[in-house]
Amino acid sequence: MKKKPDTKFASVMWLMAQYDDEPRHAEHVTTLALKMFDDLKQLHRSGEHERDLLEAGGLLHDIGWSQGESGHHKSSMNLILSSGLEGWTENDELIIANIARYHRKSLPKSRHKKFDKLSKADQLVVWKMASLLRLADGLDHFHDRIVNGVSCHIGSDNIEMTLTTREDTDPQIPSFEKKKDMFEMTFGKSVTIKTDRSNSNEE
């Protein structure tokens, strides 16, 4: 993943360094999510600013682990909102925090106060970007980076994702299947996966 040297991403990397004891997982998941974003542009029709929001949310999605495993997605959201990320607007911070918050567990609901504070347009951004992050996180459930690449093909009623892997991905599949709900609800397309070990790269 390309690190951005600007102030915005310097503040994101600083916050991740303060709270994330396993940054390689966050970076790997973010790389997978950004690849999905790039492959699926015709589907989500989002721009570079939304891509930046996804990248920031991905890098910070697990910082809540520093506060304990239980509810760590909510803790990630709260840490982001209390940090005052330099270079981002207050609204950007709220979107990033919500993207990180919905990488697991509950889908967005109007009764979630920090989600409800967003405009309808920004709520849609959260739905789109968090659904990509959720998929990517499901592919690295055990934080072992077995899935080291992904490519996406848009079909008429489904998305086929081809995974480049170092070894058998079967243990990861249940987590992926569990986390594809948000994507399928957002875009109205089912998601299927297949694996390709022929082009995998050893770390």
Statement: residue 57 has pLDDT above 60: yes
| Domain presence at residue 163 | no
- Residue tagged 């499901």 (tokens): 138
Which residue bears the tokens 């999605």?
A: 61
| pLDDT bucket at 172, cuts 50 / 70 / 90 | low
**Strand ranges inside 72-196, DSSP E:** 147-154, 158-165, 190-196
pLDDT for position 70? 65
**pLDDT at residue 31 in the model:** 97
Report yes or no: 123 and 135 within 8 Å, Cβ to Cβ. Answer: no
What are φ and ψ of residue 7, in 5° steps?
A: -60, -40
Distance CA 17, CA 138 (A): 23
By DSSP bridging, strand 158-165 and strand 190-196 are parallel
CA distance 138 to 184: 14
Q: Is residue 156 part of a domain?
A: no
Identity of residue 55: E
117 closest CA partner among 140, 90, 139: 90
* pLDDT at position 167 over 80: no
pLDDT confidence of residue 201: 46
Q: Is residue 125 part of a domain?
A: yes
User: What is the rounded average pLDDT of the residues 116-142?
Assistant: 96
- pLDDT (average), residues 6-34: 93
**pLDDT above 70 coverage of the chain, percent:** 90
pLDDT of residue 112: 94
pTM, entire model = 0.91
Residues 41 and 34 sit within 8 Å (Cβ to Cβ): no
Q: What angle do CA 169, 197, 177 make, to 5 degrees?
A: 30
**Higher-pLDDT residue of 1, 178:** 178
Q: What percent of the chain has pLDDT over 90?
A: 72
Evaluate whether residue 161 is within a structural domain. Answer: no
The CATH number given to whatever domain includes residue 52 is 1.10.3210.10
Number of domains in the chain: 1
Indicate the pLDDT class of residue 104, thresholds 50, 70 and 90: confident
Question: Would 15 be classed as within a structural domain?
Answer: yes
Give Cα separations from 183 to 10, 37, 40, 150, 190 (angstroms).
29, 12, 12, 16, 8
Q: Please indicate, yes or no, if residue 44 is contained in any of the structural domains.
A: yes
Closest by alpha carbon to 97, among 5, 112, 111? 112
- Residues 129-152, mean pLDDT to the nearest whole number: 93
Asked if residue 196 belongs to a domain, the reply is no
Tell the burial category of 34 from Cβ atoms under 10 Å away from its Cβ (0-12, 13-18, 19+): buried
- The tally of CA atoms less than 13 A away on the side-chain side of residue 2 is 7
Q: What order of strands is seen across the sheet that includes strand 147-154?
A: 147-154, 158-165, 190-196
Mean pLDDT over 164-189 rounds to 85
Q: For residue 201, tell me if it sits in a domain.
A: no
- The DSSP bridge partners found for residue 195 are 163
Enclosing domain of residue 39: 7-146
For residue 203, the model assigns a pLDDT of: 42
